[in-house]
Amino acid sequence: MARKVGFSAVVTLMALLGSVAGVAGGQPDKPCREHPKLAAACFTIHARMRYYNGAPSVRLWPIGTDRLLGVSEGQFALPGYENLPVSLRETLDHRREIYADFVVCPFTPSEPSVMRLVCVDSATKIVTKPVVAW
């Protein structure tokens, strides 16, 4: 019995390592703009991106508004599609926020007083700043 469990564990580990190697050596994830569950056309906003407490944890505040856009982490996560480019994910942390012109693509319609869920396709004119405590 112990051999079967051991063999099963080895097979599972090999499968996991193979899938990780496939992702690392295979094709990169498709960009947000190609996600099949988009609700409307992508658009550009000048915004601040930072981590927030709660879900979704990565949010965008379009400068000059009182709206927040949430970068979908769960409901609209699909294997093979990027909801946040790796370069932005690697730059963002709890000590830094990102100001940029973001191309975002909506998963949900725009409704007053409701956080709209989006994915981020790209960013230009990127500036990082330390997070200022409130």
Residue (of 50, 74, 76, 71) closest to 115 by Cα position: 71
Which pLDDT score is estimated for 25?
53
Instruction: Report whether 98 contacts 46 (CB < 8 A).
Output: no
Q: What is the pLDDT of residues 91-116, one digit of tens each?
A: 999 899 999 999 999 999 999 999 99
Whole-prediction pTM: 0.78
Q: What is the pLDDT of residues 28-82, one digit of tens each?
A: 799 999 999 999 999 999 999 999 999 999 999 999 999 999 999 889 999 999 9
Instruction: Please tell me which residue, 43 or 3, carries the higher pLDDT value.
Output: 43
Which pLDDT score is estimated for 13?
33
Question: Integer distance in angstroms from the first to the last C-alpha of the chain?
Answer: 58
Which pLDDT score is estimated for 41?
97
State how far the alpha carbon of 119 is from the alpha carbons of 37, 102, 110, 132, in Å.
11, 10, 14, 25
